[in-house]
Every structure is written in structure tokens, then in C-alpha cells.
A and B are shown apart, each in its own frame.
Chain A
Amino acid sequence: MSEREMERLGGVERFFEEHYFTEQPYYLPIRDEVEVFRAAFSERLPVLLKGPTGCGKTRFIEYMAYTLQQERIKQGIESPDTATSPLITVACHEDLSASDLVGRYLLKDEETVWIDGPLTRAVKIGAICYLDEIVEARKDTTVLIHPLADYRRILPIEKKGQMIHAHENFLLVISYNPGYQSVLKNLKHSTRQRFVAIDFDYPPREAEARIIVHESGIDMRAADQLALLGEKVRHLREHGLEEGVSTRLLIYAGKLMVSGITPRRACELAVAKSITDDRELEQVVTEITRSIFES
């Protein structure tokens, strides 16, 4: 059953997304992440994407899911006509529980119907299941993750008294942002150790400029200036701007500029004000912006 069908059944919040791609998602490889992911996938090792917010983790997994499926289609392993969604993403939040992931019974007329949750669905159809910011979710979700993440590759569905073996193409991928660690919300060691970790960070300047051009439609010169701003602002990561500034925000600034807002103002809105509440730090970011952009 697709997400859309479920929505028709009503009552289900849209906390996850089943992705269908019509074209290859744009992703610019930064280091060897593509090769590492391929290797992990071929061994069906679960993957942990580690890195600050807005640095391309989601985009990367979209790209990988699409690319790997296309390759299977090309090799004749999968048929283009029956191909299912290659990627299901779940944005974890503090109320997200195990049954949200596995599924639950719903009422339909006088009957009860079991509806698979996103994880069950991914396990069945052989999609990559991406649990974004896993530490946010409730603790009972770990019970599901562990047996899926090791050699067993099974998902227990308690309410139905079932145990499903994962589809051959299923892979569990989780993400984790070490930036805002708190004592309470830390990835458990027992969890972490089941995953192949791939480190992400903001792209180097030239790569980031190309990404900004592609995503916002701004010209290369302005994109390069935005990437320079990103590089400089990230130097302040140890001086109160823990998260630096994300590629996403730089793209937003680019989009604002495309729509006619002056660069300085666009950066003030999308960057300076978004990344800090400290007035002096905001001022520093503004001064850096003013130094880089003429207007």
C-alpha cells in the first residue's frame, strides 16, 4: 500500500515520506562517500550518516537510493514497471514510537485493517529506510532497530505476533547530528556500533559554490561569494556559532537573491538572523557579509 493510499484511509499523520523519483536527484560527491555507501550496501551493512544539519545527508541518500535502483533495473534485477519506491524517509521526533514505525490497526467500516508503518513497508518492498535524527525518537524504537541492523535482518511485529525477514534490497540508514549533543540525547554505543559511519561536513568552497548554483539558480560569481561567506562563518564554530551555517541556508540566501533581494539583505535574513541569537555574533556575520558583497 502506498503512502497515498494510506492517506486516503485517513487518520495517518504524514511523518514519513515515500519517495518516487522521476529523475536522478542532484548530488555532488564530496569525498568517497558514494563508494563507501556502495560497499556497505553490497554487504547490506546498515549505515549511519553523521554530520551537521543541512550539509547534504538527505540529498545523498536520495541520490544513492535512486542510483542503486536504476542500476538494478539496468541489470534486469528489477523491472521498471513494478519498481517500488526505493527510499522511505522518516523524520524522527520525540513522540515517535515503535508502533509509528511498525504499523497499527485502523478501523475501516466495521472492520479493522492493519496498516504497515514506514519501516515495515521498507522491509517488505526492499527500500532504503532513512531514520533522520534517530536520537530524537522514543527509546522503544531501538528494540526494532537492533535486530534489523545486525545479521538477522528481521523486524518483529509484536501486535501481529509476526517476525518479517527483510527484503534483499532493504537497508537501514540512520542519521545523527553530533553538533547538538546533550547528555540526554546521545546515540547509544550499542546502537552506534551496529552501523558503518560516514562522516559528512559542509562541502569545501568550490564544491559548495557549484551546489548553490545548481540549487538556487544564482550565477557562479554570487554563489562563490556565498560559499566564501559559508567558509568564513564556519571559522567561528568554536567561538559560539556551533553549527556554522548550513549549505541549505546559503541556498536560501541564493534564492532570495535570485528573486531580487540585495545580497547583503538576503544574507542578513537567511544567514545572520537564522544562525544566532547573540546580537554581537549576528553583527559579526553581518560585517563579514558586508565585506564580501558590494551591496
Chain B
Amino acid sequence: MKPKQQVNADVVARAISKAVENAPDASRAALGDLLETLARLDSKIAVRCSDAAAGILLQLSPSQQAFFLAHALALAAQPRVAGEFFCRCADLLQHLDEDAFRSWVEKGRAIGQENEAAAVAFFRQESHASISALQELRKTVHIAEVTRLLHLFCTAIAGRTVGVKSTAEAPEELIRKGHHLPLTDGKSIYLPGLISRSASHRENFEEYKVLAAHQAGYIEFGTFELDIDALLDHPALAAFERKGKVVDSSLLASHYELFFQMFDEPHLVRDIFFALEDGRIDFRLREKYRGLAPELAKVAASSLNERPEPLSLPLQEALVESLIRLSISGQIEEDLPHEALPIYRRMCGFFSRVLRPHATVTDSAVATASIYSALHGLPNISLRSPSCPDALREAHDTPLSAPPADARSDGKLSPTEVFPYQPVQPVAYRGQTAPELVQLAQSLEILRDGITRAEEDGIPLTRELLEELLRRGAKIKISQMTAKQLAEASGLFITDLKGVLQEKLKQLTPEERRKFAKLLEQALVLKREDRVSERVFYYDEWDYLIGDYRPRWCRVREIPLEGGSGEIVARIQKEYSALIATVRRHFQRIRPEMLKRVKRLKMGEEIELNDAVDAVIERRAGLTPSERIYQKRDRRTRDVATAFLLDLSASTDEWVVEQPMPPQGHRLPPARRSLFDIFARGDAEAATADSRMPETAKRVIDVEREALVIMAEALESLGDEYAIYGFSGYGREDIEFFPIKDFSERYSEQARRRIGALKPRKSTRMGPAIRHTLAKLAATGCRLKVLILLSDGYPQDFDYGPDRSSRDYGLHDTTVALQEARRNNIHTFCVTVDQAGNDYLREMCRGENYLVVKKPSALPRILPRVYRGLTV
């Protein structure tokens, strides 16, 4: 353990006294006690806790504070443990009752007696023991438990790949109204980190489903397809059209922005629009998903309890609030002032138009304009104001087509009476999705894809092409000015377009530019995530320090390898043609064993009845019958699946340094297990091959590649199932897994090109790569499953364990991953060119299932023998 760096005593004392001062009266003494105790043992932790104290206690009721502080104090003998507990566990009290909380803490404390690090992980809620204990105790559902389930659920509903994440991971610019509110960016759905409102786990999960379905509903029911051109011709929008046309200041604007900009009161129009559109989505959900409807109704009903009373709000807000309530519950508000009822009824009429089975987002937009017309001229005055009835009566008299004169300016009302319109409180279960950003991001993506494709094909980007790209679903408009520039420069090449865009960017205000850059970046990020989102996998990791798994700790992304050429493989095939022929011959000798019941033999263990009968009959019929009527039973079926897992870490870039030749007879490493015979047999061949091989300098990766090519050639002739994967990555969130040839895939030109594209990358986090490969092997359903790991060193990654300089964590995790393989009946074998391999492989691979290749350039010859040894 690192020596504790202690903090200056003054600083500590100041931090503590400030924390105590800021604490609620009732908790001061207990907090002071705790912090002083911590300070005596570990001043750094005391400072950390002091700084966090105010925020933590704020979440708790006075009685909870006392309860929580008492628990923290009980843990204080282990300050790191107490620190984690204090800083991370307060919010659990919202979700566990006190008894459950107490028994959970007790469990963590007991673990701490044995292993402090394990208790730290426990209270960070990162260890398996901790999470599973919580799961048993609580009604709360955490997003992590249901991520994959909801991801698949939403994907099924929306009909396209939709990721599910916690709102904590949402891009900052999408968070508009609060960190807990759900939202979607069109690619992923962000949901609150936990839900615990209801009394049971199941009900809370149902609420997750409702939240997810509402966001997925935006996608399924076309919220992001709002098309301004479809709206502009609509009579209801005629009054606003003038405004729509002047919008030409920004470079690109989504159709939503253009729509909202038609109206003077941005908040008012948005509130109306979302009341209608969310109402429409809920309606469509209820119609289509009848089983979900009751759950939706429940969540909706409980959201009503959190909303303000319409009567407590000024006129405009009261009417909008009534509309929202109507859209949530379908119930007509009765309590509005008598004079307000006609307007309200008109609003109800417009709303009912979106409650139709085929209503689209266009209907919501049209109804929005109608309701806006009815509302925006009203003064936002208190409902109790004496001038309220007059103002309302006046509004009725004004025809809808001409928006009523602004009541605020005609002098009848004193300005003090009129409140500025305040946006409504968001409806929690409907969240805070910003459709304009989704449209922008999606459109930028369409544009960018189109541009890149045109660029690759060398097609000049004309205005027509650009327009075509936009027509193909992009819901943005390019300003007149940009369009003109594009038109003038006809036959413009992409690079020029970039120039024009850049030029245009310069004209933007810094604010606009920042926004644009951000959106562009976001589109890129979304794109990147999209490519892989369906191919992301999570795996637990073994932390030997806490003696427990860290659940879902590692994120493995499957990434298609691109850009290699088949030439590299062709060259290897040529260079090694002699070896390939030899290996093939050897492998062909294995072949006959493949037939599972060998029939039609001239002699054998027993007579095959069908064939025998045929033979008898044929003889009677005067034909010459076949003599092949015997069969051999019990021959082993060759039912083998092998995965080759390739370390693509940066270190494979190193040049192969050959050890001086050992004297004859000791050429190969002392073989372990029965592989010995095989190596011995192949030895003479290897020697002759050696002398013929040109000894050009090679890197580890080149040798690995050669070995793979030869292996693949051999296996093609044998017909065994096999797969080749590479892995690398950086950090637990980003393990890269490259399928080169999957089990079901042919050894095609494409696969060969991928072998050519292999190159050294980043770190070597072996555990998750092994686990992912195991999952693939298990899926083959073959009887004999083998994983062969090719590496050049010990497992390592920058966050593979708390101490970067120690290999222990990674070795332990890899060892456990290999144990998991054995538990699942999968054979593993590690081949390394790391000469220090003996030191750690013995433990990692349990004794004998490994091989240190002394002479890396011999790998191509050795690998096929390893394979035979393992599978024959």
C-alpha cells in the first residue's frame, strides 16, 4: 500500500469546522465526531468527507442523518472504508428501508474485517457481493441490471438498434431540464440511474419499461420526422409562415428549429407542442401495446401528483398546464374559471385530433399552431385578477385566423399584473428529449456519409447532389446564402465544399460556431457509437484484491477490421508453400476419423443392415451386389471448434530477436504434456524448412500473421470449424475485439484481407478478450472446444488493477478467465513468444497448457502441431 500522504493539520481543522458549521443543527455533533475520528487516522479522507458532507446530508431527513452518521462512525476504524461509505452510500437510503440498509452495511463491514480493499469496493457498489446483496434487499432497480434487457426491448420496439444508458452518461448539451429526466438522441435512450418509487422490484422495472417505451415511441412513431415543407402549406400555419421565411441566419437549421422559430414565444410554443406530441406518443403506445397500457396509465397518474394546480398559475400557464394534464390523464379540467372554458374546450378539440390511430407529428405541429393562436394573445395574468374575465371575453371575440392583438400592449392592463410566461414543469416520465438536436445530428450524419461516399468515389458535389442528400431524409435546411454559394460553384468538389462550409463558419458568431462544432462532433460521436452499439458486450472481471468479481466491469467492442490487402496473405502462402503442403498432408491423415459412422466398408465390426439387405436383394435380382456392407461403429466424430485469439498489443510491433540456436536435440522448448511427441516428430521438418527460409527481419505481429495463414490453410483442408480473433484496447471501457474470421464464416478473400490488416495496437487486457471468445466458442455447440491464445507478453492495461506497475491483477484475472473456460469444458492453450513467459504462464495456465516459443520465427511451424496435439 502506498504511504499515506497526510494533510496539513490546519487545513484539516478548517475543513472540518466548515463542514460542521454548514451541517444541519441536529447533526452537527455526530458529524464532528465522525470527521475528527477520521482525521486522526487519515487526514486526507477526513478532508474529502468534510468537503462532501453538506451535499450528502442534504439528501437525508434529520432522522436518516443520525442513522447514517452512526453507521459511518461504526466503520471509521477503517477510514478508507468509512470514506467510501460516507461519500457514496447516502442515496441508498432513498431506496432501502433502514433494516435492509443496516443488514447491507453489516455485510460490508464483515467483509472489511477480512479484506479492506474488498470492503472499499463493496461500498463503492462495485463488487459482485455488494450488488447482489443490494439486489436481494431492495425494491430499487438500477439501470445496470436492466441495460441489456431494455436495449433489446427498445431495439425490438423501435425497429432499429437503440442503446440504453444512464442519464449520467448523456451528453451535457442534451440535458436541458435535469439530470434524472429520460431522453433520447435518436441512437441511445438515456434513463435514470435507478427507479425506486414503487413498492416492488417488478413495479419499478415496469416503470423503466414505460420510460423506455415513451422514448422509443418517439422513434417508432416518427417524432423526428417532422418536415417543415409539409407544414408550410397548411392553412393553420398560414399566419406564421412569414416568420418561417426570414429564418436564414444560421448555416444549418433543423426543421424543428425552423418550426419553433415561426412563433414569437418560444417557451409557449414548445410547451404546447410537447403536450400534444407526448400525448400522441402515449396514445399510440396505448393502442399498440395494450399490455403496457395499464403500466403507462399508472406512471402517468402518479406523475399528475407532482404537477402544480392549474388554478395556482397565471392564465396562459394555467391553460397550458390543463392541456398537459389532459394529455396525461385524458380528463377534462372542470375547475377553470367560467370565462376560460370556451378557450379550453377549443384546445381540447385540437388535442383530440392527435388522438387518432394514424395521427403523425405533422398533426401535432398543426394543432400546436392552432392552440398557440388561441393562447398567445391572452395576458398571462393571475386567474384571480379582476381583469381576467374581460381579457378572456375579448379573446373569444377575436377570430382565430388573425392572431389577436397583444393584450399587454393595449394599455388596459397594468404591466405589473402581467407575468412573463414561465415554461411548464417537465413531465418526468416523458423526459426532456430535444427533437431539434436529434434531427440535426441525424441530418449531419446523412450529409457526412453522403459527402464521404462522394469523396471516395471522386464525384463532384454539386448543389443537386447536396439537395438529393438532404431529400434523402435529412431534416435540415441549408441557408440561402450557403445554397447560393454552392450553386455558383457548380461542379464543386468535396474539398471545395469543405472550404465553403469553413468560410461560412467564419461568418458565424462565436456562439453559433460553438454550437455547430458541438453538433458536428456529436454527430460524429453518435456515428461512431452507432457502428458498434449492437456489438458491445460486457464482462465481469475478477479482482483478486477483493476476492470478488466486479460485475459488468469491462466493455468489449467488436470492431470490423478494414483496409487490409489480400496480397500480404498471398505472399505468405507463397513463401510458405512447402510448409503448407506438409502441414496439409499431415492434417489429411486426421481426416478419415471425421466420419462418424463409417459405413460401406468391405470389412468391419458389424454388418450394416440396410446395405446387407440391399446386397441380398440385388443378388436375387441378378445384379452384382456391393460387398461393402460393413460398418465401423463408435468412431469418434470430429466435432471440433477452435478459436485463435491473437494479442495485438503495441508490443507486437517489436522485432523478433532470435535466440542463438540451441544445440541439436534441444531445439524446441522442453515440451509439456503429450505435445512432446508431436514436436519431436516435426522437428526434423522444421530443421530442413529453416535452412531454406529467408531470414528477413520480422516483427512479432508478422510471425503471428504467418502462423495464422498456415493454420487456416491447414484447417481448410481438414474441415474443422475455426475462428480467428484479435484483441487489444485501452482501458476497461474500451476493449477492442476484431473478428477476423468467425466460426460461421468462410475463409474468404475478405477474411484474408483482414489477416493482412492486422497491426499492433494498444494494451493487452486478456481477461475480457478471453471471456468474449469463450462465449463465441460456447455458441458453436461443438463437442470439443479449444481456445488457443497467441501472445507476446503478460496481460496489462493501464487500469488493469489499481496499481499500474503491478502485473498481479491482470494475471489473476486472466487466470480466472482461463478457469472459467475449464468450468465450461473449453480447452485452453497459451502460446507465447515472450521468453519470460515461463514465469507467469505456469500459474496462469495451470501447469502445462502453455508453450513458450523460443524461436518466434518457428511459430508458423509449431502452431499446427499444437493444434493437432490438442484436437486429435
Q: Are B534 and A292 in contact (CB under 8 A)?
A: no
Residues of A within 8 A of B721 (CB): 182-184
Report Cα–Cα, A21/B294, bound state, in Å.
47
Which residues of chain A from 174 to 217 have any CB-CB distance to chain B below 8 Å in the complex?
A: 181-184, 186
Q: Are B290 and A225 in contact (CB under 8 A)?
A: yes
Number of B residues, CB within 8 Å of A: 35
Q: Are A107 and B152 in contact (CB under 8 A)?
A: no
Report Cα–Cα, A287/B202, bound state, in Å.
12
**Which of B250-258, B480-488, B618-626 is near enough to bind chain A?**
B618-626
User: How many whole Å from A229's CB to the nearest CB in chain B?
Assistant: 9
Q: A269-295 vs B: 1/0 string, CB under 8 Å?
A: 000000000001101100111111111
B292 within 8 A of A: yes
Q: Are B291 and A183 in contact (CB under 8 A)?
A: no
Q: Are A293 and B291 in contact (CB under 8 A)?
A: yes
Residues of A within 8 A of B623 (CB): 105, 159
B614 within 8 A of A: yes
A235 within 8 A of B: yes
Q: Are B294 and A281 in contact (CB under 8 A)?
A: no
Report Cα–Cα, A8/B152, bound state, in Å.
54
User: How many whole Å from A279's CB to the nearest CB in chain B?
Assistant: 10
Residues of A within 8 A of B618 (CB): 105, 112, 159
Report Cα–Cα, A292/B294, bound state, in Å.
11
B290 touches which of A104, A106, A186, A293 (Cβ 8 Å): A293
Residues of B within 8 A of A240 (CB): 152
Q: Which residue on chain A has the smallest CB distance to residue B160?
A: A235
Residues of B within 8 A of A127 (CB): none
Q: Are B744 and A287 in contact (CB under 8 A)?
A: no
Q: Are A104 and B744 in contact (CB under 8 A)?
A: no
Report Cα–Cα, A225/B290, bound state, in Å.
9
A232 within 8 A of B: yes
User: How many whole Å from B340's CB to the nearest CB in chain A?
Assistant: 38
A228 within 8 A of B: yes
Q: Which residue on chain B has the smallest CB distance to residue A231?
A: B159
Q: Are A291 and B292 in contact (CB under 8 A)?
A: yes
Report Cα–Cα, A293/B293, bound state, in Å.
10
Report Cα–Cα, A287/B148, bound state, in Å.
13
User: How many whole Å from A250's CB to the nearest CB in chain B?
Assistant: 15
Q: Which residue on chain B has the smallest CB distance to residue A184?
A: B719
A294 touches which of B152, B161, B294, B614 (Cβ 8 Å): B294
Residues of B within 8 A of A182 (CB): 721, 744
Report Cα–Cα, A295/B155, bound state, in Å.
23
A232 touches which of B156, B293, B621, B744 (Cβ 8 Å): B156
B746 within 8 A of A: yes
Residues of B within 8 A of A283 (CB): 149
Q: Are A239 and B746 in contact (CB under 8 A)?
A: no
Residues of B within 8 A of A99 (CB): 614
B153 within 8 A of A: yes
Q: Which residue on chain A has the smallest CB distance to residue B780?
A: A182
B616 within 8 A of A: yes
B288 within 8 A of A: yes
Q: B197-211 vs A: 1/0 string, CB under 8 Å?
A: 000000000000100
Q: Tell me whether A291 and B159 are in contact in the complex, defined as CB-CB below 8 angstroms, given that A105-B618, A183-B746 are known contacts.
A: no
Residues of B within 8 A of A111 (CB): 620
Q: Are B744 and A183 in contact (CB under 8 A)?
A: yes
Residues of B within 8 A of A295 (CB): 291
Q: Are A112 and B620 in contact (CB under 8 A)?
A: yes
A233 within 8 A of B: yes
Report Cα–Cα, A287/B291, bound state, in Å.
10
Residues of B within 8 A of A32 (CB): none
User: How many whole Å from B824's CB to the nearest CB in chain A?
Assistant: 14
Residues of B within 8 A of A43 (CB): none
Report Cα–Cα, A104/B618, bound state, in Å.
9
Q: Are B209 and A239 in contact (CB under 8 A)?
A: no
Residues of A within 8 A of B149 (CB): 280, 283-284, 287
B655 within 8 A of A: no
Q: Are B209 and A291 in contact (CB under 8 A)?
A: yes
B26 within 8 A of A: no
Q: Are B157 and A232 in contact (CB under 8 A)?
A: yes
Report Cα–Cα, A239/B620, bound state, in Å.
58
Report Cα–Cα, A291/B152, bound state, in Å.
14
Report Cα–Cα, A287/B149, bound state, in Å.
9
Q: Which of A235, A288, A289 has the most CB of B within 10 A?
A: A235
Report Cα–Cα, A232/B194, bound state, in Å.
26
A23 within 8 A of B: no
Q: Which residue on chain B has the smallest CB distance to residue A284?
A: B152
Report Cα–Cα, A284/B288, bound state, in Å.
17
* Chain A: number of interface residues, binned into ranges: 35 or more
A181 touches which of B152, B291, B744 (Cβ 8 Å): B744
User: How many whole Å from B120's CB to the nearest CB in chain A?
Assistant: 30
Q: Which residue on chain A has the smallest CB distance to residue B148?
A: A280
Q: Is the interface of A mostly helix, strand, loop or mixed?
A: helix
Residues of A within 8 A of B743 (CB): 183
B289 touches which of A233, A264, A291 (Cβ 8 Å): A291
Q: Are A236 and B744 in contact (CB under 8 A)?
A: no
Report Cα–Cα, A293/B290, bound state, in Å.
6
A238 within 8 A of B: yes
Report Cα–Cα, A235/B152, bound state, in Å.
9
Residues of B within 8 A of A290 (CB): 291-292
Q: Tell me whether A106 and B617 are in contact in the complex, defined as CB-CB below 8 angstroms, given that A183-B721, A184-B719, A280-B149 are known contacts.
A: yes
Residues of B within 8 A of A107 (CB): 613, 616-617, 620
Q: Are B617 and A291 in contact (CB under 8 A)?
A: no
User: How many whole Å from A84's CB to the nearest CB in chain B?
Assistant: 26
Q: A125-137 vs B: 1/0 string, CB under 8 Å?
A: 0000000000000
Report Cα–Cα, A41/B544, bound state, in Å.
69
Which residues of chain B from 275 to 325 have any CB-CB distance to chain A below 8 Å in the complex?
A: 288-294
User: How many whole Å from A89's CB to the nearest CB in chain B?
Assistant: 22
User: How many whole Å from B395's CB to the nearest CB in chain A?
Assistant: 43
Report Cα–Cα, A110/B155, bound state, in Å.
67
Residues of B within 8 A of A287 (CB): 149, 153, 209
User: How many whole Å from B87's CB to the nearest CB in chain A?
Assistant: 33
Q: A150-170 vs B: 1/0 string, CB under 8 Å?
A: 000000000100000000000
Report Cα–Cα, A230/B757, bound state, in Å.
40
Residues of A within 8 A of B617 (CB): 104-107, 112
Q: Are A288 and B156 in contact (CB under 8 A)?
A: yes
A236 touches which of B152, B613, B719, B746 (Cβ 8 Å): B152
Q: Tell me whether A239 and B294 are in contact in the complex, defined as CB-CB below 8 angstroms, given that A105-B614, A280-B149, A292-B289 are known contacts.
A: no
Residues of B within 8 A of A105 (CB): 614, 617-618, 620-621, 623
B291 touches which of A184, A284, A292 (Cβ 8 Å): A292
Q: Which residue on chain A has the smallest CB distance to residue B722?
A: A183
Q: Are B213 and A291 in contact (CB under 8 A)?
A: yes
Residues of A within 8 A of B148 (CB): 280
Report Cα–Cα, A105/B623, bound state, in Å.
10
Q: Which of A105, A182, A233, A293 has the most CB of B within 10 A?
A: A105
User: How many whole Å from A202's CB to the nearest CB in chain B?
Assistant: 14
Q: Which residue on chain B has the smallest CB distance to residue A295?
A: B291
Q: Which of B209, B534, B617 has the most CB of A within 10 A?
A: B617
Of the A-B pairs whose beta carbons lie under 8 Å apart in the complex, a sample of 24, sorted by A's number, is: A99-B614, A105-B614, A105-B623, A111-B620, A112-B618, A159-B618, A181-B744, A232-B157, A235-B157, A235-B159, A236-B155, A238-B161, A238-B534, A239-B152, A239-B155, A283-B149, A284-B149, A287-B149, A287-B153, A288-B153, A289-B291, A291-B209, A293-B290, A294-B294
What are the 7 closest A-B residue pairs judged by CB atoms, nearest first? A105-B617, A112-B621, A291-B292, A284-B152, A291-B289, A232-B156, A112-B620
Q: Which of B's residues lie within 8 Å of A, judged by CB?
A: 148-149, 152-153, 155-161, 209, 213, 288-294, 534, 613-614, 616-618, 620-621, 623, 719, 721, 743-746
Known contacts A105-B614, A183-B743, A235-B157, then 16 further A-B pairs from the complex at CB < 8 Å, ordered by chain A residue: A104-B617, A105-B620, A105-B621, A107-B617, A112-B621, A186-B746, A235-B155, A236-B155, A239-B152, A281-B152, A284-B149, A291-B209, A292-B288, A293-B291, A294-B291, A294-B293
Q: Which of A's residues lie within 8 Å of B, judged by CB?
A: 99, 104-107, 111-112, 114, 159, 181-184, 186, 225, 228, 232-233, 235-236, 238-240, 264, 280-281, 283-284, 287-295
